[in-house]
Amino acid sequence: MQKQSTGQRTDAATPTAEPVLELQAIRKSYGKTQALISLDLRLRPGAVHGLVGENGAGKSTLVKILSGAIAPDGGSVSINGTAVSLTSPDVARKLGISTVFQELTLIPDLTVAENLLMQSGGEWVQSCGERIRRGTEVARKWGVTTLDMRAKISALSLRDRQLIEILCAVDRPHKVLILDEPTSSLLPEDTKWLLSLVRYLVARGSAVVFISHMLDEVEEFCDEVSVQRNGTIVANHNSTPLDRDLVVKQMIGRSLDAAFPAKVALDPKAVIALSVRDLAVPGSVHGVNVNIARGEIVGVAALDGQGQAELFKALAGDIRTSGGSVELLGKQIKLSSPQRAIRAGGTKGGIAYVPADRKLAGTVLDLTVRKNISLPVLKSVSSGGVLRDGRESELVSRLMELVQVDAVKLDHTVRSLSGGNQQKVAFARAASSESAALLLYDPTRGVDVGTKYELYKLIHQLAENGTAVLFYSTEIPEIVNVCHRAVVIYGGRIVHEVPSERLSESELMSAAIGLKTLKGSEL
């Protein structure tokens, strides 16, 4: 694999090649909700088949059926012309279907080496040294040399966990490889590595399903593309480049005038809502200074592991600081816990946080939408220690309308919702406390273009209402098109500030890789 680095398409597949895997009239319902409706799909050996669609289109259900995690209600599945029943993940793997799920499946209390051995199907060995040796061998086989085989998964960044998940899947013998949002946590150079890896695999006859919300990546990776909407395939495109306007219209059932709504006007006389001075977190953040006015959206750009995650967690009260001060609406506050951060401003609102991982940190999956939204502000919807249903329903209904989640889902568990609606619930939780400052850490990761647009409008609406927003994104175009200005973090320090008139991808990226530094200017 190490020698394969061009990332060029191959001619291994032809349009007339017999499908390695074929789905016909697949159906799946959850109660009254039809997730898949008579869906047909054909995967050719030696080709990358893109699958695009909104959150809620049924893509996750389709992936679960292909991987054996759930059974369809009807329809047929065949591999190389033979009908099969994908009754469990183990059966699917033995039949040659290997999956990288959007929500990672690694075992957090085991080491990198142990996960690689277990999940890639390697034989377990008792010797720790031998496990490390074999894990290192697996990673190097696919061109990865930066992972610490002794580290526990729980201690790793999302980026490293995503790399390991991919390694586990590609190292299993397979005919079909399913990649569900595989680049959502990767760095640009990792995405180039993945492209090279995919081209290597299809050149040897694998069929690859590539699911992504980023159409530029779909064009780069895929030989053919299917558009999924409302549980079925509504269009097939047999070549790239794509007519993006058409594809977006097919995905969401309407045209999308622009990828980003117009920016909110910023009041030049707005008072400072959040002021951070010389903030430090041991080993990661070193003297960060930033001011954010009421109604201002300040972007944060950084490559992975530059201290941005720790900065957001410190401001959210999730980790301890070792120095510096934070003022909210002119009053110095202590951020010793998330609860204190939420209540820091008293009746004027505190600091709310939307983390990157909506499933593990942003919501409580097995609680209802209602309980998730009201959880941060139980005190305000209670009296004498007793929850008042009327107050709770009024609050939750208002916030569900704000984030555009259907009211019929009020008493559904968050786990049952699509990824986009889960993220909207995470936003509603943050908005429930009517905070003076809002921390958004990669808030559109893994959601479709339609939902992204709705989230951008929601962010603008909160800013219009006077909320100060600190916005980190791995997608630099988001920072350019959503934020009023941006700062760049490198090595745990703010090294560059970009005002609105100079806000561009090239300006941010050149600073993010260390080519620009802050020259004595005060943020």
Q: In the numeric block, which tokens belong to residue 169?
A: 């899947």
**pLDDT at res. 385:** 63
User: Would you place residue 14 in the very low, low, confident or very high pLDDT band (cuts 50, 70, 90)?
Assistant: very low
- Residue written as token pair 């190389």: 80
Nearest to 178 by CA among 280, 81, 63, 279: 63
41 neighbors 233 (Cβ within 8 angstroms): yes
Higher pLDDT, 256 or 80: 80
**pLDDT at res. 241:** 82
Read off the pLDDT of each residue in 211-234 and give the average, rounded to a whole number.
Answer: 90
Three-state SS at 209: strand
User: Would you place residue 444 in the very low, low, confident or very high pLDDT band (cuts 50, 70, 90)?
Assistant: confident
- Give 188-199 pLDDT, tens digit per residue: 899 999 999 999
Q: Is 38 left (phi over 0), alpha (psi -120 to 50) or beta?
A: left
User: Would you place residue 408 in the very low, low, confident or very high pLDDT band (cuts 50, 70, 90)?
Assistant: low
What are the φ and ψ backbone dihedral angles of 343, each rounded to 5 degrees? -100, 10
Residue 53 in this model has a pLDDT that exceeds 90: no
- Give 224-271 pLDDT, tens digit per residue: 999 998 899 999 998 778 888 788 788 877 555 567 888 889 998 999
Residues 369, 10: Cα–Cα separation, whole Å: 47
**pLDDT at res. 505:** 83
Read off the pLDDT of each residue in 377-384 and give the average, rounded to a whole number.
Answer: 61
Residues 14, 191: Cα–Cα separation, whole Å: 26
Read off the pLDDT of each residue in 302-325 and give the average, rounded to a whole number.
Answer: 91
Read off the pLDDT of each residue in 483-510 and give the average, rounded to a whole number.
Answer: 90
**pLDDT at res. 54:** 76
Higher pLDDT, 367 or 490: 490
**pLDDT at res. 453:** 84
Ranges of beta strands (E only) in 161-301 are 176-180, 207-211, 224-229, 232-237, 272-281, 285-293, 297-301
Read off the pLDDT of each residue in 209-226 and give the average, rounded to a whole number.
Answer: 90
Residue 359 in this model has a pLDDT that exceeds 90: no
Higher pLDDT, 215 or 364: 215
Strand-strand pairing, 207-211 and 176-180: parallel
User: Would you place residue 11 in the very low, low, confident or very high pLDDT band (cuts 50, 70, 90)?
Assistant: very low
Residue 391 in this model has a pLDDT that exceeds 80: no
424 neighbors 455 (Cβ within 8 angstroms): yes
Residue 85 in this model has a pLDDT that exceeds 90: yes
**pLDDT at res. 16:** 54
Higher pLDDT, 402 or 518: 402
- Give 425-440 pLDDT, tens digit per residue: 777 777 766 789 999 9
Read off the pLDDT of each residue in 438-445 and give the average, rounded to a whole number.
Answer: 89
Q: Which of 104-108, 174-178, 311-315, 342-346 comes out lowest in average pLDDT?
A: 342-346
User: Would you place residue 361 in the very low, low, confident or very high pLDDT band (cuts 50, 70, 90)?
Assistant: low
**pLDDT at res. 518:** 54
Residue 221 in this model has a pLDDT that exceeds 50: yes
**pLDDT at res. 7:** 45
**pLDDT above 90 as % of the chain:** 49
- Give 463-493 pLDDT, tens digit per residue: 998 999 999 998 888 999 999 999 999 889 9
Three-state SS at 423: helix
**pLDDT at res. 87:** 94
Residue 357 in this model has a pLDDT that exceeds 80: no
Average pLDDT, the chain: 84
**pLDDT at res. 351:** 92
User: Would you place residue 389 in the very low, low, confident or very high pLDDT band (cuts 50, 70, 90)?
Assistant: low
**pLDDT at res. 168:** 92
Three-state SS at 348: helix
Read off the pLDDT of each residue in 441-450 and give the average, rounded to a whole number.
Answer: 80
**pLDDT at res. 382:** 64
Q: How many residues in the chain?
A: 523
